[in-house]
Each structure stands twice: as C-alpha cells, then as structure tokens.
Amino acid sequence: MQGERYQNTIALLLIVLVFASIPLIVNFLGAWFLWAPILAALAVLPAAFLREAELDTGLEAPARVRAALAGNLRSEGLEVTTEPDAVWVRIDALSAVRIRARTTERGTVLSSQARATRAGWLLLIALVASVVGSLPAVALTLVLFRRANRFARARAPAAFGGKGRAAVSSRDEVRAMLLGSLSSALRIAREASDAQHKAHTDAQTVIAVAAFTSWTALLIGLFVALNGFNLITGQWDVPIVGATAGTLVLSVVLLAVVRRRYRPRLARYRTWIDRLSDAFDREMSLEAAEPSAASTFELLAEASTQVPDWLNAQRRAGLSSDPATSLGILLLTLFVSSMFTNAIIGALRGALDLVFVYAATGTVAAGIAAWIYRAWKRREDARLAHAQAAWDAHVKSLRARMDHFLEEM
C-alpha cells in the first residue's frame, strides 16, 4: 500500500540521519547546540509531511467520494484543488491537507497527509536554514501537522454520509462479497503488474551493465588482436569503433528480447486492472443496477482463471519485488567478489596466509547471501500459496452465496 511505502521512506530518512549524526558526535560534540536542532528539524519535517493517516472507510466509488468531499469543502468557502486521486485543501495561510481516496479490500479508504502552503514552506525553509530557527521550525511543523490532521478527521465522514451515501446496503451480503472479491482480485493484479514492472526495470539495468562490460572486453580484445595492424596503419580508432558497434548491436538485440517478453504481459495486466477497477466503481456507485451483480460475478469467475498467473508473476519477478533483500544480496555479492579477487591477487604474490583469510571470508559471505535468499524464497512461496488458498476459499464462498441468492430470486 502507498501508506506503507511512506512509512518505509520515513524510516529510511531517519536511519540516514542517525548515520549522519555519528561523525558530528565524534568530531563536533562541543557544537551540538548548532547541529542537533537542524538534525531534529530534518527528522520531524519528513515524518510529519510524509505520514499518511487513514480517516474513514466506506463502500462507495472513490470518484464519488472525492466529488462529495470537494463539494462539501467548497460549500464552506475553502480553496480546493482536485488531483487524479486526491483533493488538496488550503486550511489557512500556512497549512493545507491532501485527502486521498484509494481502493482497498475494505472498500474506499480516505487518508490524509499534512501539507504546507507556499508561504508555509518558505517560512519552514528559512527557519531551518537560519540554524537558530530550527527548533521553532520543529514546533511549527507539529502545529501544522496537528491542524491538518484534526481538519481532515472532522471533514472525512461527511464524504460518506452526505449525498454520496453508499448504495450498498449492509444487509446485501452478495454485494458486499462481490466488492470484497473485486478488491482482492484488483490488489493481486496490481501486485503482479508492479512486480513485473520492477523486473522489467531490473532487466534493463542488467543490460546496461552487460553493455558496459562487453564494450570493455571487446575494446581490450580488439586492441590486443589488432595491435600489429594499429602500429602499421596508425588507425587506433578501429578497435573503438568495432567495440562500440558490437556493443550497440548486442544492446539493441537484448532490449528487443526484453521488450518482447515483458510488454504483452504488462499490457494484459493493465487491461485486467482497468476492467476490475471499472467493475468496482460500478458496484459502489449509486447507478449500479441490480442485474449488474450477474455480470460482475461472471467477471470474477473469469478473473479466477487469471489469479494463478498473477501470483506466478510475482514469483517470476524474484528479488525484484523485494528491493531491500535484493540490495542486501547485491552488496554481499560484491563483497564476495572483492574477497575472491583479493585471494587471487594474494596467490599471485605468494601470500598464502592472506589467500586463506580472503577465501574463507568470501565463502562465509557467500553462504550468508545464499541463506538470505533461500529464507526469502521460502517466505515468498508460503505467502503466495496462502494468497492462492485464500482466494479460492473466498470465490467458493461467493459462488455458494450467489447460488443461494439466485434460488431465492
């Protein structure tokens, strides 16, 4: 979820600040009254303005909720700006709030983020830049956050309780189960699409690294092979042209292969996401007619045949779906490569004691990387298997309830 990514961003920024404070503590402990307030401000500002807090949940279309919320706020005389998935509201001269409506398994969820106006940002930046104003900047940030949070919590319920009141009755179990199934299928499809997008990006990165490596290898090889020719003719640019041309051909071929592999798959996921989103909005809108339940159920039955492929797409994406684990394994791999390279250099120099140390260290690091990957793979396979079982159970329950509903009709 988007909110989880924001929380991860806040945690990452705080970790960076902790490591940045270590040299300050070691070297400039006597001047703590200068840099400590700045670090405090740099920690509080992202924590306040990146945090996304949930406000309310309802069974209405996100577009209808945003329209109702914007209408209610404009009727109060507030300055409102609409975005593709959110409403931006100016509270006063310094503070604002961004209220977002997103689709989850529980229906439409409203969440808010504190914002500052242009004047508010200029004031905060000036206070932090002045050093002595860092602590007032922290206090002002907390005031703006509290004001935006209270404002959003006071206005959010009206978006579900006003004219845009949910057309879905709490007694309509079939409609509620349809909405839950649609949101579950939509989440799985989006996760598959995101995983394949990341895998596509990783593949392009690998091609870029491979292109640089092949260019270097071709350049050295051609210089060695054509050394005599170069000395006789003086044409030292021939190896450069040859290496560049060969690398370009290889890169174009590899990019075409990657494009052919990922583009149809991503387009298919995009189509399913659009179909499920449209059905979800239709079921939660006031215009949803009663016969639409049948067509929605047919769409879910068709989507059930795609769920195994969507889950396998996450499995095929591998470590691309988990950047933190992939980064850790990449760093360990680079460390292992460095250790074995040093071992080879030590062997050539005759330093057998260093060879043993480097080789042992590299072997241990390789074992740790392999253990991390295997543990991640087991967790990922268990998660995907649980998701498949939960989906099958949900669809089975919905099918039984739908059959009972049709018999009653």
| Dihedral angle sign, alpha carbons of residues 256, 260, 261, 267 | positive
Residues 110/87, Cβ–Cβ less than 8 Å: no
Strand ranges inside 30-159, DSSP E: 53-58, 79-82, 86-90, 95-104, 107-116
Range of the domain at 347: 322-409
The H or E element containing residue 363 is: helix 352-408
**Residue 242 has what pLDDT?**
81
| Dihedral angle sign, alpha carbons of residues 190, 191, 195, 196 | negative
Query: What does 268-325 look like in DSSP terms, one character per residue?
Result: HHHHHHHHHHHHHHHHHSTT--TTHHHHHHHHHHHHHTTHHHHHHHHHHHGGGG-HHH
Q: Looking at the structure, do residues 296 and 189 belong to the same domain, yes or no?
A: yes
* Nearest partner of 356 among 348, 347, 366, judged by Cα: 347
Q: Looking at the structure, do residues 372 and 263 belong to the same domain, yes or no?
A: no
**Residue 371 has what pLDDT?**
92
Alpha carbon 24 to chain centroid, angstroms:
32
Structure tokens at 123: 């004031």
| Dihedral angle sign, alpha carbons of residues 266, 108, 45, 14 | negative
DSSP conformation class of 30: G
- Given 304, 319, 334, the domain boundary residue is 319
Residues 192/143, Cβ–Cβ less than 8 Å: no
Q: Looking at the structure, do residues 255 and 306 belong to the same domain, yes or no?
A: yes
Q: Looking at the structure, do residues 74 and 153 belong to the same domain, yes or no?
A: yes
Q: Looking at the structure, do residues 176 and 314 belong to the same domain, yes or no?
A: yes
Q: Looking at the structure, do residues 127 and 252 belong to the same domain, yes or no?
A: no
Q: Looking at the structure, do residues 312 and 326 belong to the same domain, yes or no?
A: no
| Dihedral angle sign, alpha carbons of residues 240, 243, 246, 248 | negative
**pTM (2 decimals)?**
0.55
The number of distinct structural domains making up the chain is 3
Q: Looking at the structure, do residues 149 and 184 belong to the same domain, yes or no?
A: no
142-165 burial code (b ≥16 CB/10 A, e <16):
eebbebbbebbeebbebbbeeebe
pLDDT digit of tens for each residue in the chain (409 aa)?
455 556 656 666 676 677 777 777 767 777 778 888 888 888 888 888 888 888 877 766 677 777 888 888 887 778 888 887 788 888 888 888 888 887 665 667 788 888 888 888 898 888 888 888 888 988 988 888 888 888 888 887 776 654 434 443 434 566 667 777 777 788 888 888 888 888 888 888 888 878 887 888 788 777 777 765 555 555 667 777 888 888 899 889 998 998 898 888 889 888 988 888 888 777 766 554 445 555 777 888 788 888 888 888 888 877 776 777 777 887 888 888 888 888 888 887 777 778 888 888 989 988 998 898 888 888 888 888 887 787 777 777 777 766 665 565 5
Q: Looking at the structure, do residues 18 and 155 belong to the same domain, yes or no?
A: yes
Residues 106/89, Cβ–Cβ less than 8 Å: no
Q: Looking at the structure, do residues 142 and 232 belong to the same domain, yes or no?
A: no
Angle, helix 118-129 to helix 32-49, in steps of 10 degrees: 160
- Given 140, 161, 182, the domain boundary residue is 161
